[in-house]
Amino acid sequence: MKQKLALLVISIIILVGCNQAVNIVAYDSVQLEKDLKKQAFQHKLPTSLPFKVEDTEITSLPNEQDKQITIDFYGLGTNELGDHLSLSVVNGGEVGKLEGGRKVDLENNEGTYKSEQGEEILSWSEDNLHYRLTYYKEQSDTNVTKEELIEVANSFE
């Protein structure tokens, strides 16, 4: 009887742990928007992300004539890994082709989605700007689905 009870408890713990639902969460982008106004070109930002944002980091590539910017969003997550989503925006050229990606419908656009080793990637173009969202699964402790990345892309303003 004790073995059955222990097996039941362990099974419930495993099922609950594997069933971590990801909720799309709005975040306060006011400071990020202020920091980005200093950049050479203006672009849209997501109004919601698949985790609570604790920190952001803005990187511009040197010697690229201010044509590319990367914004990394970090969350605490539920264990030691946390969450990491990166947004790359290129003014003009491309962020990089997604070889083997699948076409997906966005609200007012079409994008390309690819799931590869440790990354969920969604890219699209709008107003001569090329966007790429990359969720780093191996550096994060929650799972983000294709549908959730599409929801993030649809939240851009």
Instruction: Say what the pTM is.
Output: 0.73
Average pLDDT over the chain reads 77
Q: Where are the alpha helices (DSSP H) in 19-106?
A: 30-36
- Regarding the domain delimited by 23-154, which CATH topology (the fold level of the hierarchy) does it fall under? Protein Transport Mog1p; Chain A (3.40.1000)
Q: Give the Cα separation of 78 and 59 in Å (integer).
A: 26
Which of residues 71 and 63 earns the better pLDDT score?
71
64: confidence class by pLDDT, cuts 50, 70, 90: low
Q: What is the pLDDT of residues 9-37, one digit of tens each?
A: 444 444 444 444 456 665 565 655 665 56
Using the structure block, give the residue that is written with the tokens 């742990």.
17
pLDDT of residue 7: 42
Average pLDDT over residues 42-46: 86
pLDDT of residue 12: 46
Q: Can you say whether residue 41 is alpha, beta or left, with left for phi > 0 and alpha for psi between -120 and 50 degrees?
A: beta
Decide if 149 contacts 113 (C-beta within 8 A). yes
